[in-house]
């Protein structure tokens, strides 16, 4: 297993378009998290899954955002009707269990630019 994989690495879209990102976690990790990071800031939590169940969503996750994790494997994050304020790095992380002794493993991120 080579770690957490995210695709695409970069996405440029016009305002109003829909975009979808994919995250493939470490295979034995049951928890998957999405974060958003804007320039010069720390990552901010968006949502997380335990297996296929989405257990918590941040207030940052407006109704234009939806995330899925079918079958508890990979996850997708879709943003509808993108706005310039959605431009950010979207990071996916995975962990084994609720209190991972070895921490959370982050993917390389998807950088979204809305023009």
Partner 1 sequence: ELKVEQNPLFLSMQEGKNYTIYCNYSTTSDRLYWYRQDPGKSLESLFVLLSNGAVKQEGRLMASLDTKARLSTLHITAAVHDLSATYFCAVNNAGNMLTFGGGTRLMVKP
Does 49 engage in binding with partner 1 (CB under 8 A)? no
Region binding partner 1 by CB under 8 A among candidate stretches 15-23, 36-44, 64-72, 77-85: 36-44
Among residues 44 and 80, whose Cβ is nearest to partner 1? 44
Looking at the chain, which runs of residues are DSSP E strands?
A: 5-7, 10-13, 19-24, 31-37, 44-50, 53-57, 65-68, 75-79, 88-95, 105-106, 110-114
Question: Least distance in Å: CB of 98 to partner 1?
Answer: 4
| Residue ranges binding partner 1 (CB under 8 A) | 33, 40-45, 48, 55-56, 91, 93, 98-109, 111
């Amino acid at each position: 297993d080579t770690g957490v994989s995210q695709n695409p690495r970069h996405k440029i879209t016009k305002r109003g378009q829909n975009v979808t990102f994919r995250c493939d976690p470490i295979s034995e990790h049951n928890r998957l998290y999405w974060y958003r990071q804007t320039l010069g800031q720390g990552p901010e939590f968006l949502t997380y899954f335990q297996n296929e169940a989405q257990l918590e969503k941040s207030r940052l996750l407006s109704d234009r955002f939806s995330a899925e994790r079918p079958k508890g494997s990979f996850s997708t994050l879709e943003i509808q009707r993108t706005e310039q304020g959605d431009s950010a790095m979207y990071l996916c992380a995975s962990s084994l269990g609720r209190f991972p002794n070895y921490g959370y493993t982050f993917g390389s991120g998807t950088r979204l630019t809305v023009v």
